C-alpha cells in the first residue's frame, strides 16, 4: 500500500530477496525472554513486530533456550558476566553464543537498544550470523527538546501541531505517544523535554503535572524519561510568593516542594531545562543573582532525586552596539566551576542562533570545570522550514569535529561534550525536535533523516554523515543500490547548496517575524539589535563583520590556535570569512574571484543546484514509494522557487552597496 511516512525508519517491510530472508529466518527461530519488566517486554515486542514484518513469520517467545539453537537470546547480565564487562550501563553487545544470537546488556534499556541494533542490521541487509557488535553510548543524556506550548502550537515547528494533546490528557492517551517513544528508543534517545523553553508556568501546576505523568507512563516502557522546561518566576506566578529570588528561603522551599510533588507522580522524572535572562525571559539576574545561583537553587531542589538541571547559555542583550556573538562567553566563563554537580550548561552549536553555518561557540573551549551539553536544532528554523531539503548530519558533524584546542590539538567539541576531555561525569546532548502532528511526523519526509541523524550521533558522534544517510535511506526509502547512492549524494550536498543560496562565505542574515523570508534590508524590529546592519554589515566598501582585534574582537574568545585559523582574512577559510572580516567588494579571494563575484557565483550556483537536486530525485522514482516521491518532488519545486527568491533578494540588495555588475555568466541579457 502507499506509504504515508508514518512508520518512519521502523517500516519492517517484507524482505523481497528470498535467499536472504531464509538466512535471517534460520537465525531467528525463537526469542528467549527471561524476565517481565516493561522495558524487556518492549524489547521483545519490537523484535517480534520487526521480524514478523521483515521475515513474514511470527517468532515465538520462550523463557529458556535449553538446547535449542538458531534463536535470539535477550540477556540482562550482571557485572561479573564476561560478556558484559566492557559495557557501560546502557551499552549492548550482539554476539554469537551457543549457536544463538545473544543480545547482552547490564540493563534492560541496553537490551532494548541491542534489539534495535539487530533489527537495523537486518533492515539494512547485513548478515547476522556471527554478527558481533559492541556499542556504548558516548553521551549519557540524549534528549529531544520540544518547543511545544499548552495550546498545541509549536515554536518553530513546521510539521503541524504538537504531538501532545494537552486538552485530552491525562484521561485520553493517544497511541501515537507509543510510536514516538519507539522511534526515539530505536535511536537511543533516552529523554524528552516536552515543553517550550519559553515556558508556561502552567506546566508546573498539578493539572499539567498529571498530564505529563501520563506521557511519562508511556515513555517509561521505552527507557525515555520526561523533563520540563520551567518558567523561572513560577513561585510568583503560580506559587503566590512575592519574589522568585533564588536565594530566598521561601522560594527555595517552593521549588523543593514542587520537585517533590513531581517525583511523587513521575518517579523517574528527568529534571528541568531553563531559559533564563534570555530574550526577555525572566531569571536570577532580575534579583541581582547570576546563572549559577539560579541553576544551583534548582539543583538543590533536585538533590534527593536522580534528576538534573539543564541551564541554557543562549543569552545576549538588546544592545545594537554590542556583539551578540560574545555574550554567552562573557556571562558564563566567570561562572566556570561555580555550578552544582547536577547542573549541565546547554550551549547552542554556534554563538548566534542555529544559522545554516556558524563557527562553533567559543564556550566549548572555555568551560573546563562545567559540563556542557550540545544544543542542536533539528527543526529547520533557518534552513528552509519543511520545504527545503537540508540533511543536517554534516552540519552537526562539522561542529562536533571542530577542534577547540582547549587542551591542545585534538580537543574537538565532541570530546568536550562527551566528557572525555575534561572528565565531566555528566554529559548531555539535545536536539530541538522537528516532529509534529503531521501524519509523517516531520512535514518533509526527508526531514525524518534529521531526527534520525541527531539520534544516531547523540549515541555515537563518530558515525559518518554518509553512513547515517545510507542506513536511513535503506530503512525508510529504498534498498535499491543505485537509488541509495543517488539519494545519499543528494542529501550529502544539500546543506552546502542551501548555504550557497542563503548565507554563503560566512554571510549573516537578519530575520524577523516567523524567520522565513529573505529580508537583508530589515531596518526596524522590536529590538534595536534585531536589524540588518548588525548582522551583515554591508556598506559601500564591503561586507562582513569584523570580529578581529580591530573590530568586536570576538575572536579573542577562542584559543590561540583557533584564532590563528580565522584571524587573517588572507588565510581564513572561505566558509567563515564574513563571520570574522569586513571584506572589500573588489578584494580578490582565494578562488581568484572578487568578493562580489564570488558571492554572485554562490548565489546563482546555489539556486541552480536545487535544479540538480530535482533531477537527482526524479531518477529515483521507480525505487521509492509513489506517495513519498510525489511529496518530495513538490517540496523541491517550492525549494527551487524560494532559492531563486533568496538569490535575487540578496544580489539586488547587496548590489546597492557594491555597485558592481552581476558577473557575465549570470547576467540576464538586457
The residues annotated as belonging to the active site are: 279, 353, 381
CB 87 within 8 A of CB 134: yes
Number of residues that bind ligand GCU (CB under 6 A): 10
Q: How far is the CB of 273 from ligand GCU (least distance, A)?
A: 11
Q: How far is the CB of 375 from ligand GCU (least distance, A)?
A: 8
Binding-site string for ligand GCU from residue 477 to residue 506, where x marks contact by CB under 6 A and - marks none: ------------------------------
Q: How far is the CB of 148 from ligand GCU (least distance, A)?
A: 12
Q: Nearest-5° angle of CA 580, CA 586, CA 587?
A: 50
Binding-site string for ligand GCU from residue 510 to residue 539, where x marks contact by CB under 6 A and - marks none: -----x------------------------
Q: Using the Cα atoms of residue 42, residue 48, residue 54 and residue 56 in order, give the sign of their dihedral.
A: negative
Q: How far is the CB of 146 from ligand GCU (least distance, A)?
A: 12
Looking at beta carbons only, is 317 or 593 nearer to ligand GCU?
317
Q: How far is the CB of 145 from ligand GCU (least distance, A)?
A: 9
Distance CA 227, CA 206 (A): 15
- Asked if 509 interacts with ligand GCU (CB under 6 A), we say no
Longest dimension (CA), the chain: 84
One-letter-per-residue 3-state SS of 244-265: CCCCCHHHHHHHHHHHHHHHHH
Distance CA 662, CA 670 (A): 12
- Asked if 156 interacts with ligand GCU (CB under 6 A), we say yes
Spatial neighbors of 598 by CB under 8 A, at least 6 apart, are 504, 505, 574, 589, 591
Q: How far is the CB of 312 from ligand GCU (least distance, A)?
A: 7
Closest alpha carbon to 124 in 11, 19, 200, 208 = 11
Looking at beta carbons only, is 510 or 569 nearer to ligand GCU?
510
Strand (E) or helix (H) holding 229: strand 225-230
Residue from 155, 161, 174, 179 that binds ligand GCU (CB under 6 A)?
155
Give the CA distances from residue 424 to residues 73, 116, 139, 431, 465, in Å, rounded to whole numbers and listed in that order: 35, 28, 11, 20, 26
Q: How far is the CB of 332 from ligand GCU (least distance, A)?
A: 15
Looking at beta carbons only, is 5 or 282 nearer to ligand GCU?
282
Strand (E) or helix (H) holding 106: none
Q: How far is the CB of 458 from ligand GCU (least distance, A)?
A: 18
Closest alpha carbon to 518 in 392, 357, 651 = 651
Closest alpha carbon to 500 in 611, 592, 590 = 611
Q: Is 193 helix (H, G, I), strand (E, B) or coil?
A: strand
- Asked if 268 interacts with ligand GCU (CB under 6 A), we say no
Residue from 314, 325, 498, 566 that binds ligand GCU (CB under 6 A)?
314
Looking at beta carbons only, is 364 or 603 nearer to ligand GCU?
364
Spatial neighbors of 267 by CB under 8 A, at least 6 apart, are none
Looking at beta carbons only, is 255 or 354 nearer to ligand GCU?
354
Residue from 29, 150, 198, 479 that binds ligand GCU (CB under 6 A)?
198
Q: How far is the CB of 543 from ligand GCU (least distance, A)?
A: 23
Q: Nearest-5° angle of CA 138, CA 142, CA 144?
A: 155
Binding-site string for ligand GCU from residue 441 to residue 470, where x marks contact by CB under 6 A and - marks none: ------------------------------
Looking at beta carbons only, is 116 or 314 nearer to ligand GCU?
314
Looking at beta carbons only, is 381 or 392 nearer to ligand GCU?
381
Distance CA 631, CA 307 (A): 42
Strand partners, 412: 403
Residue from 31, 111, 154, 197 that binds ligand GCU (CB under 6 A)?
197
Q: How far is the CB of 279 from ligand GCU (least distance, A)?
A: 6
Distance CA 542, CA 540 (A): 6
Closest alpha carbon to 609 in 466, 536, 502 = 502
Q: Judging by beta carbons within 10 Å of its beta carbon (0-12, 13-18, 19+), is residue 83 exposed, middle or buried?
A: middle
DSSP, residue by residue, 142-177? EEEE--B-TTS-BTT--SSS-S--TTTTTT---THH
Looking at beta carbons only, is 293 or 375 nearer to ligand GCU?
375
CB atoms within 10 A of CB 508: 22
Residue from 120, 138, 275, 635 that binds ligand GCU (CB under 6 A)?
275
Looking at beta carbons only, is 197 or 578 nearer to ligand GCU?
197
Binding-site string for ligand GCU from residue 336 to residue 365, where x marks contact by CB under 6 A and - marks none: -----------------x------------
Q: Within 362-381, which residues bind ligand GCU (CB under 6 A)?
A: 381
Looking at beta carbons only, is 508 or 548 nearer to ligand GCU?
508
Task: Give the sheet arrangement for strand 72-76, strand by strand.
Answer: 61-62, 31-33, 72-76, 100-105, 92-97, 133-135
One-letter-per-residue 3-state SS of 334-375: HHCCCCCCCEEEEEECCCCCCCCCCCCCHHHHCCCCCCEEEE
Binding-site ranges for ligand GCU (CB under 6 A): 155-156, 197-198, 275, 279, 314, 353, 381, 515
Amino acid at each position: 500500500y502507499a506509504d504515508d511516512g508514518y512508520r518512519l525508519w521502523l517500516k519492517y517491510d517484507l524482505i523481497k530477496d528470498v535467499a536472504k530472508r531464509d538466512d535471517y529466518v534460520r537465525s531467528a527461530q525463537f526469542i528467549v525472554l527471561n524476565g517481565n519488566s516493561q522495558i524487556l517486554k518492549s524489547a521483545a515486542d519490537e523484535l517480534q513486530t520487526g521480524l514478523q514484518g521483515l521475515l513474514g513469520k511470527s517468532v515465538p517467545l520462550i523463557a529458556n533456550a535449553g538446547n535449542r539453537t538458531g534463536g535470539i537470546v535477550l540477556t540482562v547480565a550482571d557485572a561479573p558476566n564476561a560478556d558484559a564487562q566492557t559495557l557501560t550501563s546502557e551499552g549492548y553487545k550482539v554476539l554469537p553464543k551457543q549457536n544463538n544470537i545473544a543480545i547482552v546488556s547490564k540493563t534492560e534499556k541496553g537490551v532494548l537498544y541491542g534489539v534495535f541494533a539487530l533489527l537495523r542490521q537486518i533492515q539494512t541487509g547485513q548478515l547476522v550470523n556471527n554478527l558481533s557488535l559492541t556499542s556504548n553510548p558516548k553521551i549519557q543524556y540524549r534528549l529531544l527538546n520540544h518547543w511545544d506550548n499548552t495550546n498545541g502550537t509549536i515554536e518553530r515547528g513546521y510539521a503541524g501541531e504538537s504531538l501532545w494533546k494537552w486538552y485530552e490528557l491525562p484521561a485520553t492517551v493517544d497511541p501515537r505517544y507509543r510510536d514516538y517513544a519507539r522511534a526515539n528508543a530505536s535511536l537511543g534517545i533516552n529523554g524528552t523535554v516536552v515543553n517550550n523553553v519559553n515556558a508556561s508556568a502552567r506546566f508546573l501546576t498539578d493539572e499539567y503535572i498529571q498530564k505529563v505523568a501520563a506521557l511519562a507512563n508511556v515513555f517509561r516502557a521505552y527507557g525515555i524519561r520526561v523533563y520540563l522546561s520551567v518558567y523561572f518566576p513560577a513561585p510568583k506566578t503560580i506559587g503566590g510568593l512575592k519574589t522568585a529570588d533564588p536565594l530566598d528561603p521561601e522560594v527555595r522551599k517552593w521549588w523543593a516542594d514542587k520537585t517533590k510533588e513531581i517525583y511523587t507522580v513521575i518517579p523517574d522524572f528527568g529534571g528541568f531545562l531553563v531559559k533564563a535572562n534570555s530574550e526577555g525571559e525572566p531569571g536570577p539576574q532580575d534579583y541581582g543573582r547570576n546563572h549559577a545561583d539560579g541553576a544551583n537553587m534548582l539543583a538543590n531542589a533536585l538533590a534527593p532525586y536522580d534528576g538534573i538541571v539543564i541551564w541554557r547559555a543562549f543569552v545576549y542583550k538588546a544592545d545594537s552596539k554590542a556583539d551578540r556573538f560574545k555574550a554567552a562567553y562573557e556571562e558564563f566563563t566567570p561562572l566556570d566551576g561555580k555550578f552544582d554537580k547536577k547542573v549541565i550548561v546547554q550551549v547552542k552549536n554556534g554563538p548566534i542562533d542555529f544559522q545554516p553555518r556558524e563557527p562553533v561557540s567559543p564556550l566549548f573551549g572555555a568551560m573546563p570545570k562545567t559540563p556542557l551539553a550540545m544544543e542542536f536544532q533539528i527543526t529547520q528554523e533557518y534552513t528552509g522550514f519543511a520545504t527545503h531539503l537540508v540533511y543536517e548530519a554534516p552540519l552537526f558533524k562539522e561542529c562536533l569535529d571542530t577542534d577547540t584546542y582547549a587542551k591542545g590539538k585534538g580537543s574537538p567539541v565532541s570530546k568536550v561534550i562527551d566528557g572525555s576531555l575534561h572528565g565531566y561525569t555528566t554529559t548531555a546532548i539535545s536536539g530541538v525536535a522537528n516532529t509534529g502532528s503531521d501524519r509523517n511526523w516531520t512535514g518533509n519526509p526527508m526531514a525524518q533523516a534529521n531526527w534520525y541523524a541527531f539520534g544516531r550521533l547523540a549515541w555515537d558522534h563518530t558515525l559518518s554523515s554518509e553512513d547515517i544517510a545510507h542506513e536511513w535511506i535503506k530503512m525508510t526509502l529504498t534498498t535499491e543500490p543505485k537509488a541509495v547512492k543517488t539519494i545519499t549524494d543528494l542529501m550529502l550536498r544539500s546543506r552546502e547548496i542551501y548555504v550557497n543560496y542563503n548565507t554563503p562565505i560566512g554571510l549573516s542574515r537578519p530575520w524577523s517575524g516567523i524567520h522565513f523570508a529573505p529580508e537583508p534590508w530589515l531596518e526596524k524590529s522590536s529590538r534595536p539589535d534585531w536589524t540588518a546592519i548588525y548582522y551583515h554589515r554591508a556598506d559601500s566598501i564591503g561586507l562582513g563583520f569584523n570580529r578581529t582585534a580591530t573590530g568586536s574582537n570576538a575572536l579573542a574568545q577562542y584559543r590561540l590556535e583557533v584564532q590563528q585559523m580565522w584571524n587573517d582574512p588572507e588565510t581564513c577559510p572561505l566558509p567563515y570569512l564574513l563571520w570574522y572580516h569586513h571584506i572589500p567588494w573588489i578584494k580578490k579571494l582565494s578562488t581568484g574571484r572578487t568578493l562580489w563575484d564570488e558571492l554572485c557565483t554562490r548565489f546563482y550556483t546555489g539556486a541552480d543546484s536545487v535544479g540538480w537536486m530535482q533531477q537527482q530525485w526524479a531518477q529515483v522514482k521507480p525505487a521509492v514509494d509513489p506517495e513519498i516521491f510525489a511529496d518530495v518532488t513538490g517540496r523541491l519545486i517550492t525549494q527551487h522557487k524560494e532559492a531563486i527568491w533568496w538569490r535575487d533578494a540578496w544580489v539586488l540588495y547587496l548590489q546597492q552597496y557594491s555597485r558592481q555588475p552581476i558577473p557575465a555568466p549570470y547576467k540576464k541579457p538586457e
